[in-house]
A and B are shown apart, each in its own frame.
Chain A
């Protein structure tokens, strides 16, 4: 990657890391109670309250991984931390989405859900990791870049 890309990545993931860290801390505090809702952001989501503190720990780690990667971002070991953080987001967000898919297919009384019911399962509010998911995908660009220059 060139200097501009490296600089952009470094700033971008610093911001993303700070946001992930903030989400994680908020979830950890909220996990003592019922979770928090803030507009379309909802930490409790559909999943089990038992998961909340663990999810919070993961998001906090994601934040630290991103933040520690920004110095000398182009270096492969630094980049690896950001990649790992993104993979961790993909795991938690992927499971949040999977949870919605699993809940959306069968209906309450009928075999399968109605179309409205199916679509309603995907309506907001969303949990923090789902917000982080699209932003974390930027890492794919850097991984591809690294693959080119690595050879």
Chain B
């Protein structure tokens, strides 16, 4: 009752009496409020359906289903398998093998065209571009045969969803779920972008308000979100494992996000997004976005993939790869349950993830890995280190303390999560 007394004591001088106030309100509302004047349009009603969870979630499932199946058929069935594999394996590779100076045992030939592989102790020429591992064969095949189409398909759909106005609504829909891990609905924008390429994904964390949010977002992107290049080439190599791969990464993303949110100090205020009405996308706008993003991707990817190819080739030739395999092999075998040869893709992965999966493809073709080992290796490739371009951007975007934090969480994450997957494999009896 003390409270009431205090309130009473504070005599607040207000100019209007209750009646005067109601008169004023009546005057105002008479002029500004009209009943029966407005009618919801179909567009309003549809917009409402897409953000309410009960109807919005099925719609989101349909949209993502469309996204993914378009991606698979456009990049996989039509371009890569339909044309590119033929061009590269049946024409480009044999042609280079016949005209390039040197031969199987020549080092320069091995670096540029075909390193060959051992079959019952005899060095034989490769018959596809995954195995050949030359800069001009595997390098070009990965970029122009597989990855370019995946990126194109991805950014096309992304631009359409963005321009229609669906993306901010999807953000609103997942807002509540993401709050549980200290992120916001907006997080789906950098996450989706990263599914194309982590570089623009990391750039898209800039609108996030605090350093904590940016740090969390960048770390999660770098670890758990595979880029379109990687997805494209995984889809080409291990289509039957894709569901499990995405599930494992999604669990890691949410679980690790939850932990990071608890241990990283700082606030995470809401990022308020503009939610524009639905509209027809214009062809010009979509074309422009597609061009900017795809050309941006090529500028980053082409030099890195070719350089990476060269470095991995050199390491094989000089014996450095065998040495690394011998050193790290036991660790890989015991902790993660993958063969020591996996060192090679892991090295390649420092430069490019798509190249790394390509190298892994070469190992798979030799038949030295079980399905579960392939699965574990693919996950390891995703989470163990961001590609060089992403890492360079993170150096620029984070201060050294945050960068160290990112790296520390990365190392911890790889060992914990990689070990956990191995453990689950052992328990299930598939490892």
Interface residues of A, Cβ cutoff 8 Å to B? 47-48, 50-51, 54-55, 57-58, 61, 65, 76-77, 79-81, 83-84, 87-88, 91-92, 94-95, 98-99, 102-103, 105-106, 111, 143, 146-147, 150
> Judging by beta carbons under 8 Å apart, are A105 and B82 in contact?
yes
Task: Collect the chain A residues with CB atoms within 8 Å of residue B82's CB.
Answer: 102-103, 105-106
Docked complex Cα distance between A67 and B147 (Å): 43
Contact of A102 among B44, B49, B77 (CB under 8 A): B77
> What are 25 A-to-B residue pairs whose CB atoms are below 8 Å?
A48-B72, A54-B61, A57-B58, A58-B62, A61-B61, A76-B40, A80-B42, A80-B45, A81-B55, A83-B42, A88-B59, A91-B62, A91-B65, A92-B62, A95-B66, A98-B73, A99-B77, A102-B74, A103-B77, A105-B82, A106-B82, A106-B86, A143-B42, A150-B39, A150-B42
The proximity string for B residues 307-348 relative to A, scoring 1 for CB distances below 8 Å and 0 otherwise, is: 000000000000000000000000000000000000000000
Docked complex Cα distance between A94 and B70 (Å): 9
Q: Which residue of chain A has its CB nearest to the CB of B74?
A: A102
Docked complex Cα distance between A92 and B243 (Å): 19
Q: Counting CB contacts under 8 A, is B5 at the interface?
A: no
Given contacts A91-B65, A105-B78, 4 further A-B contacts (CB under 8 A): A76-B44, A84-B49, A92-B65, A150-B41
Q: Counting CB contacts under 8 A, is B412 at the interface?
A: no
Q: A50-B243, A57-B58 are in contact. Are A79 and B65 (CB under 8 A)?
A: no
Task: Collect the chain B residues with CB atoms within 8 Å of residue A81's CB.
Answer: 49, 55
Q: Counting CB contacts under 8 A, is B209 at the interface?
A: no
Contact of A95 among B40, B41, B69 (CB under 8 A): B69
Docked complex Cα distance between A18 and B24 (Å): 55
Q: Counting CB contacts under 8 A, is B100 at the interface?
A: no
Central interface residue in A50, A83, A102, A146, by most chain B CB within 10 Å: A102
Q: Counting CB contacts under 8 A, is B95 at the interface?
A: no
Task: Collect the chain A residues with CB atoms within 8 Å of residue B59's CB.
Answer: 84, 88
Q: A50-B242, A76-B45, A111-B86 are in contact. Are A58 and B61 (CB under 8 A)?
A: yes
How many inter-chain contacts with C-beta < 8 Å in the A-B complex?
96
The proximity string for B residues 47-84 relative to A, scoring 1 for CB distances below 8 Å and 0 otherwise, is: 01110000100110111011011101110011001110
Task: Collect the chain B residues with CB atoms within 8 Å of residue A147's CB.
Answer: 42
Task: Collect the chain A residues with CB atoms within 8 Å of residue B277's CB.
Answer: none
Interface residues of B, Cβ cutoff 8 Å to A? 39-42, 44-46, 48-50, 55, 58-59, 61-63, 65-66, 68-70, 72-74, 77-78, 81-83, 86, 239, 242-243
Task: Collect the chain B residues with CB atoms within 8 Å of residue A102's CB.
Answer: 73-74, 77-78, 82
Docked complex Cα distance between A111 and B87 (Å): 9
Q: Which residue of chain B has its CB nearest to the CB of A51?
A: B69
> Judging by beta carbons under 8 Å apart, are B55 and A84 in contact?
yes
> Judging by beta carbons under 8 Å apart, are A76 and B41 in contact?
yes
Q: Which residue of chain B has its CB nearest to the CB of A50?
A: B243
> Judging by beta carbons under 8 Å apart, are B39 and A95 in contact?
no
- Min distance, Cβ B57 to any Cβ of chain A, angstroms: 9
Task: Collect the chain B residues with CB atoms within 8 Å of residue A77's CB.
Answer: 40, 45, 48
Task: Collect the chain B residues with CB atoms within 8 Å of residue A76's CB.
Answer: 39-42, 44-45
Q: Which residue of chain A has its CB nearest to the CB of B46?
A: A80
Docked complex Cα distance between A102 and B153 (Å): 13
Q: Which residue of chain A has its CB nearest to the CB of B78?
A: A102
- Min distance, Cβ A80 to any Cβ of chain B, angstroms: 3
